[in-house]
């Protein structure tokens, strides 16, 4: 197994793992936040403006951690410096 | 086992894993959000418009993490840059 | 073990795993949603129309993640691009 | 170990695993749904028609995920394309 | 280890695993359903007819997932197509 | 290690595992059902006839899953078709 | 390592495992049943006859699963058909 | 590593495991039963005779599962039929 | 690695494991029992005699399972029949 | 596998793991904080200024741990001292 | 790796494991007991004498299981019969 | 694989693991602390000064454990004594 | 790998593990005890003397288990009898 | 792999693990303690002096276990007796 193949394989594995598992935490956290928002709305409908605004800020911050994972996956698939170097070396051989 | 086969195998494995496990978190989170929405509706039927709207925004954000996983799987199966390069190399040999 | 066999084996394994485990999350989430719907109905029978409609929308979104898994399994068994290529190569040999 | 045997072995393993573990989620979810239905009936006997109808729709959707698993198992045992091809190859040899 | 033995061994293993673990979910789910039924009966003895009927329908659906597992085990022990083919091949040798 | 020994070993392992682990779920489920029955009796002593009857039906259905496991174990020890065939082959050698 | 030793080793391992782990479920379940019985007695001392009777029936059924495990262990140690055959073969050699 | 040593090693391992892990369940179950008994006594001191009697019967049944494990350990250390046979064979050699 | 060393190594391992893990269950169970006793005392100081007596009987029974583990460890270290035999054999060589 | 490839592989693996798993904790923690904020807002709408301010300070501190992980990943991909040295050595060879 | 080294290594490993993990259970149990004692004191300050006395007896019994683990560790490090024998043999060689 | 590479690899792995997993505990703990602070503010808005001050002291202490982990990671990447020595040795060779 | 190195490696590993994991239990237990003490103080400020005294005695006993672990680690690093003997042997060689 | 490298590698691994995992327990425990302190302050603002003082003593004791871990890591990196000896031996060679 040459170096090029090995780096390709590892990049595929990590891209999948990082997105597949890394979105589990944010998903659960968003589910919890949305659930509580709904409970809060049912309990205090008059404060819906404040509740909705706070919810959206919170969801944005939680989503940011999911996006970190997605960004790392995309970097590993499409902008992988180790892969680029290996391609260059293999081409230059 | 040549490089082409290895990359194919790994891509299949990761495509399955990423979707199979990565949708677990969103599914559970959506179940929770829907469950709370129903509780909230039973408790405060007059606020059903606000509750339903907030629920749908929340479900959309949670679903987005499931879609990240599905997108990564589809990329690995149908638009895999490592696989394309390997095919090209193998054809050019 | 030649390449053809290996890809077949891996495809079988991932098809089973993706469906077998990937439907666990949606199943539990649907169970939770249905359970809460029943509680809500018992608590507020007059809102049954809204509750039932929200429940069905929610179930559809949760079911969608189970269907992603089933789709990936079916793709791996019946429309596997890696397998097709391997068959073509093996036939062309 | 020739290819034919290997594919047979893997198919047996995955058929068992997919059904054995894949039905755990639906079973637990159905248990939960039934349990809540009983609680709801005890609390609001007058709404038994709505509750029972909603319960059956919900059980059907949960059961569907168990059936996905059973279908994949049956496909792997009795309509396995990889196995059929291997038999054909082995017969043509 | 010849093919015949290997297929026998794997079939024994999967038959045991599928039944041994696959009945855990249904058992727990039935325990939960029965437990709630008893609570419901204690709370609302007048609705015992509806409760008992709903309980039995629910137990039947949960039991069905346990029976899927048992069926797969029995198929693997007594009606295994891979084993039958291997016997045929071994006899024809 | 000849085939006969291997099949014997695997049969012993699976017989133990299937019974040892497979009875865990039913035991816990029965414990739950009995516990709730006792709570229900303490709460509503007048409904003891209905409660006891429902409890026994439920215990019978839960026990059935334990018995599936025990049956599989006994089949593996005393009526194992793979073992019988192996004995026959070994005797006929 | 000859066959005789191997079967002895496996039988020892499974006898220990089956009893050691298989009694965990029943023990916990009995603890739960007894605990609830005590709570029920404290709550409704007048129904002690019914409660005690139901408790004993329930404990008997739970204990039965522990006894399945113990029986399998004893069979593996003292009435193991595979071992008996191996002894017979080894003596007849 | 001769057979005698191997059987000795396995017997030591299983004796320790069976007792070490097998007593965990009973210990936790007894802790639960005793804890509930104390709660019950504090709640209904007049029923202390019935509570104590039921507690002791229950503890005896739970302890019985711990004793099964201890018995299996002692059999494996001091009355191991496989070991006795191995000694006899080794002496007769 | 001769037999003597191997038996010594295994005995050390199992002595540590049996005590190290086997005392976890009893410790937690005793903690629970003591905790409930303290709650009961705070709730019903007049019944302190009965509570304390029941607590001590219960602690004794739970401690007995910890002592089973300690006894097995001590037997494995200081009165190990397999070790004694191995020493005798090694001395007699 | 030369040193350069090995360091590349390990860096890819750790970059993915650190971000993929390390963001799980912060995501869940932020979900909890946001959820409680919404509950608090519903309960005491007048204190929304204080609550929102405290929430944002808290989210910032929690996000900081997610950023530590992302920083380590970025260092491993784009500013890895071990990789730089290995490149230098490999170029100087 | 000679016998002496092996026994030393195993003794170190088990001494650490037994103390490191074996004190986890007692620590948690003591934490629970102390916590409940404090709750009880806050609820019934007049019974502080009885509560404190019962707490100390309970802590002593729980601590005893931690001390079993520490004793086994110390025996393995400083009074290990297997090690002493190995030293004697190695010196006598 | 020479020593230099090995130390580099291990340092990368541990730097990632220590930060990736070590920040999970602090993140969850801070989430809990912030959540309770928000609950407390909603319940007692007048004590907001004391609550906020105590919260910040607590967050600082919890953050300190996350910083220990980050410090160890940075030491391993940028000030690793083992790496420095290995470089020196490799240069001096 | 000579004996000296092996014993050093194992001692380092166990010293880290024993402290790293062994302090988890005490830390959590102390957290629980402190938390309950604070609740108790808030509920019954007049009993602060008794509560504080009991808390400190309890913390001391819990800390003792953490100290057992730390002591074992220090013994393994700085007063390891196996290491001392190995040094002596290696020097005397 | 020579001894020096091996000891360096193991020291790096254990330093990371001990800090990375060992601070998880204290972090969670401190989070719990701080959370309860905030609840207590909200419930009884007048006792803030006593509560804060008890909190700080408790945090100090919990932090001590985190510091044990950090100390062991620092000893392993910067004052490792096994490493020092190995350096001395390697220099003296």
Interface probe for E, chosen from D30, D55, D79, D87 (most Cβ of E below 10 Å), is D30
Low-confidence stretches of chain J (pLDDT < 50) are none
Do the Cβ atoms of E38 and F36 come within 8 Å?
yes
DSSP B22-88: HTHHHHHHHHHHHHHHHHHHHH-GGGHHHHHHHHHHHHHHHHHHHHHHHHHHHHHHHS-HHHHHHHH
To probe the interface with L, which of N6, N12, N58 has the most L CB atoms within 10 Å? N12
Give, to the nearest 10 degrees, the angle between helix H81-92 and helix H3-22. 160
User: Residues A29-76: pLDDT tens digits?
Assistant: 999 999 999 988 888 888 888 888 899 889 988 988 888 898 888 888
Residue range H37-75, pLDDT digits in tens: 998 888 888 888 888 889 988 998 898 888 888 888 888
Rg (CA), chain E: 21
Both tokens of residue J16?
A: 């993915």
What would the pLDDT profile of B39-59 be if each residue is shown by its tens digit?
888 888 888 888 888 998 899
Structure-token pair, residue I6: 């191997």
pLDDT of residue D32: 93
pLDDT class for N88, splitting at 50, 70, 90? confident
- Distance CA(E17)–CA(G19), nearest Å, equals 18
Q: Are F54 and E35 a contacting pair at CB < 8 A?
A: no
Q: Looking at the predicted structure, is the pLDDT value of residue E93 above 70?
A: no
Instruction: Please provide residue L75's backbone torsions phi and psi, each rounded to the nearest 5 degrees.
Output: -60, -45
Residue L89 is predicted with a pLDDT of 79
User: According to the model, what pLDDT value does residue F1 have?
Assistant: 54
Strand spans (E) along chain I: none
Q: How many other β-carbons are positioned within 10 Å of the β-carbon of residue K19?
A: 30
Q: Please tell me the distance from the alpha carbon of residue N33 to that of residue K39, in angstroms, as a whole number.
A: 15
Query: Could you give the CA distance from residue K3 to residue L48 in angstroms, rounded to a whole number?
Result: 66
Contact by Cβ (8 Å): F59, F30: yes
Residue among H63, J16, L42 at smallest CA distance from G30: H63
Average pLDDT, chain K: 87
CA distance linking residue G7 with residue G86, whole number of Å: 8
Contact call for residues E14 and D15 (beta carbons, < 8 A): yes
Per-chain mean pLDDT for chain F = 87
K42-65 average pLDDT score: 88
How many angstroms separate the CA atoms of L52 and L38, rounded?
Answer: 10
**Domain of C59, in residue numbers:** 3-17+27-88
All partners of chain J with 3 or more CB pairs under 8 angstroms: A, L
CATH code where residue N29 lies: 1.20.20.10
- Does I27 contact K66 at a Cβ distance shorter than 8 Å? yes
Q: How far apart are CA B31 and CA D33, in angstroms?
A: 13
Structural tokens at position E29 = 């789910």
E17, D20: Cβ pair inside 8 Å? Answer: yes
Give the nearest partner residue to L14 out of N12, N59, N63, using CB atoms.
N12
Q: How many CA atoms within 13 Å lie on the side-chain side of J82? A: 32
- The answer to whether residue L75 neighbours chain N at the CB level (below 8 Å) is yes
> What is the mean predicted confidence (pLDDT) over F70-83?
88
User: Which pLDDT does position M93 carry in this prediction?
Assistant: 58
User: Is the four-CA dihedral C6, C8, C11, C13 of positive or negative sign?
Assistant: negative
Dist. CA L76–CA L8, nearest whole Å: 9
* CB spacing of K76 vs I21 below 8 angstroms: no
pLDDT, averaged across chain I: 87
Chain G residue numbers touching H25 (CB-CB < 8 A): 23-28
User: Which tokens belong to K80?
Assistant: 């290990």
Number of domains making up chain H: 1
- The answer to whether residue M89 neighbours chain N at the CB level (below 8 Å) is no
Q: Classify burial at B93, counting beta carbons within 10 Å of its beta carbon; exposed 0-12, middle 13-18, buried 19 or more.
A: exposed
- B1 has a pLDDT exceeding 60: no
Sign of CA dihedral D64, D68, D71, D77: negative
- Chain B neighbors of C40, CB-CB under 8 A: 38-39, 41-42
* pLDDT score for I35: 92
Q: Alpha-carbon distance A19 to A69, whole Å?
A: 6
Are M7 and K8 within 8 A, CB to CB? yes
Q: Would you say residue B5 has pLDDT above 60?
A: yes
Q: Which residues contact J11 (CB under 8 A, 6 or more apart)?
A: A82, J76, J77, J80, J82, J83, L12
Interface test with G, best of F4, F11, F21, F27 (most G CBs within 10 A): F27
Residue D93 has pLDDT above 70, yes or no: no
In this prediction, residues H19-28 reach a mean pLDDT of: 89
Tens digit of each residue's pLDDT (9 = 90 or more) over I58-75: 998 898 888 888 888 888
Over residues F84-89, mean pLDDT = 83
Tokens of F77: 């020890």
Nearest CA in chain H to I4: H5
Q: Which residue does chain C place closest to B2, by CA atoms? A: C3
Q: Do K36 and I41 touch (CB under 8 A)?
A: no
As a whole number of angstroms, the distance between CA D84 and CA H8 comes to 49
CB-nearest to I61 from H43, H63, H87 is H63
Contacts of E73 in chain D (CB under 8 A): 16
pLDDT at D60 over 80: yes
Residue N44 sits at φ, ψ, to 5 deg, of -140, 70
- Give the tens place of pLDDT for each residue, B64-87: 888 888 888 888 888 888 888 888
Q: Is J79 exposed, middle or buried (0-12, 13-18, 19+ CB in 10 A)?
A: exposed
Residues of B in contact with A28 (CB under 8 A): 25, 28-29
Give the pLDDT confidence of N41-65 residue by residue, as tens digits.
888 888 888 888 899 889 988 988 8
Exposed, middle or buried: residue J93 (CB in 10 Å: 0-12, 13-18, 19+)? exposed
Contact list, I48 vs chain H (CB under 8 Å): none
**D16 vs E contacts (CB less than 8 Å):** 14-15, 17-18, 72-73, 76
**CA torsion through residues H5, H7, H10, H14, sign:** negative
Model confidence over F39-65: pLDDT tens digits?
A: 988 888 888 888 888 998 899 889 888
- Which DSSP category does I79 fall into? S
The mean pLDDT value for G68-77 works out to 88
Nearest CA-CA distance, residue F65 and chain G, Å: 11
Cα separation, L48 vs L56, in Å, equals 12
Q: Which of N6, N33, N43 sits opposite M42 (nearest CB)?
A: N43
User: Please, what is the Cα angle at E72 between E70 and E77, to 5 degrees?
Assistant: 95
Phi/psi at A84 (5° precision): -60, -45
Label residue D1 by pLDDT band (50, 70, 90).
low
SS (H, E, C) A22-62: HCHHHHHHHHHHHHHHHHHHHHCHHHHHHHHHHHHHHHHHH
Q: Output the average pLDDT for chain A.
A: 87
Min Cα distance F35 → chain G (Å) is 5
Q: What letter would DSSP give residue F79? A: S
Rounded CA separation G64/G29 (Å): 12
Does residue B29 carry a pLDDT above 90? yes
Please give the Cα distance from F78 to F15 (Å, whole number): 10
Task: State mean pLDDT over G8-15.
Answer: 89
Q: Which residues contact D66 (CB under 8 A, 6 or more apart)?
A: C23, C27, D22, D23, D26, D27, E64, E65, E68
Query: Which residue in J87, E76, N24 sits closest to M31, CA to CA?
Result: N24
Contacts of A79 (CB under 8 A, 6+ apart): none
CA distances from A41 to A49, G22, H13 (A): 10, 48, 59
Structure tokens at M60: 């001391």
Q: Considering only CB atoms, which chain M residues are within 8 Å of N32?
A: 31-32, 34-35
Sign of the four-CA dihedral M5, M8, M12, M14: positive
- When computed from its CA atoms, the radius of gyration of chain H, rounded to whole angstroms, is 21
Contact state of I24 with K19 under an 8 Å Cβ cutoff: no
Cα distance between residue I14 and residue I87, in whole Å: 19
pLDDT digits (tens, 9 = 90+) for L42-88: 888 888 888 888 998 899 889 888 888 888 888 888 888 888 888 88
10 Å CB burial of residue I71 (0-12, 13-18, 19+) is middle
CB atoms within 10 A of CB E58: 26
pLDDT of H93: 59
Q: How far away is chain E from the Cα of F50, in angstroms, using its nearest Cα?
A: 8
Place of tokens 């680690």: M73
Q: Of A64, A82, A90, A91, whose CA–CA distance to A9 is shortest? A: A82
Q: How far is CA M24 from the centre of its chain?
A: 9
Count how many pairs of residues, chain L against chain N, have C-beta atoms within 8 Å. 163
In this complex, the residue of K15, K55, K81 whose CB is nearest that of residue I38 is K55
The 10 Å Cβ neighbour count of residue A24 is 27
| I17 vs H contacts (CB less than 8 Å) | 16-17, 20
pLDDT in tens, M28-87: 999 999 999 998 888 888 888 888 889 988 998 898 888 888 888 888 888 888 888 888
Partner residue opposite F30 with nearest CB, options E2, E31, E33 = E31
DSSP string, L58-87: HHHHHHHHHHHHHHHHHHHHHS-HHHHHHH
A86 touches chain B (CB under 8 A): no
Which are the contacts of N36, defined by CB distance < 8 A and separation ≥ 6? L36, M34, M35, M36, M38, M39
Residue B68 to residue K10: CA distance in whole angstroms: 48
Report residue E50 as tokens. 């509806």
Q: Is the pLDDT of residue K32 over 80?
A: yes
Are chains H and M touching, using the cut-off of 8 Å on CB pairs and a minimum of 3 such pairs? no
Residue A14 pLDDT > 70: yes
Q: Is F35 helix (H, G, I), strand (E, B) or coil?
A: helix
CA pair distance I66, I30, nearest whole angstrom: 11
Interface of M with N in 11-70 (CB under 8 A): 11-13, 15-17, 19-21, 23-39, 41-43, 45, 48, 52, 55, 59, 63, 66, 69-70
> What is the mean predicted confidence (pLDDT) over G11-35?
90
Q: What is the pLDDT of residue M92?
A: 67
Length of chain B: 93
How many Å apart are CA F62 and CA D31, to the nearest integer?
A: 12
Q: Which of N43, N55, N69 sits opposite M19 (nearest CB)?
A: N69
**Which residues, at least 6 apart from M34, have a Cβ–Cβ distance to it below 8 Å?**
M55, M59, N29, N32, N33, N36, N54, N55, N58, N59, N61, N62
Instruction: Give N91's pLDDT tier (boundaries 50, 70, 90).
Output: confident
CA dihedral angle for residue J2, residue J8, residue J13, residue J18, rounded to 10 degrees: 140
Contact present, K90 and M3 (Cβ < 8 Å): no
């Amino acid at each position: 197994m040459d170096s090029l193949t090995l780096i390709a394989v590892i990049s595929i594995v990590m891209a999948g793992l990082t997105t597949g598992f890394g979105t589990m935490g944010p998903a659960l956290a968003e589910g919890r936040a949305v659930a509580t928002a709904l409970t809060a709305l049912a309990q205090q409908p008059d404060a819906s403006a404040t509740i909705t605004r706070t919810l959206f800020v919170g969801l944005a911050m939680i989503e940011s951690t999911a996006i970190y994972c997605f960004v790392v996956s995309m970097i590993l698939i499409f902008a992988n410096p180790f892969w680029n170097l290996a391609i260059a070396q293999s081409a230059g051989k």
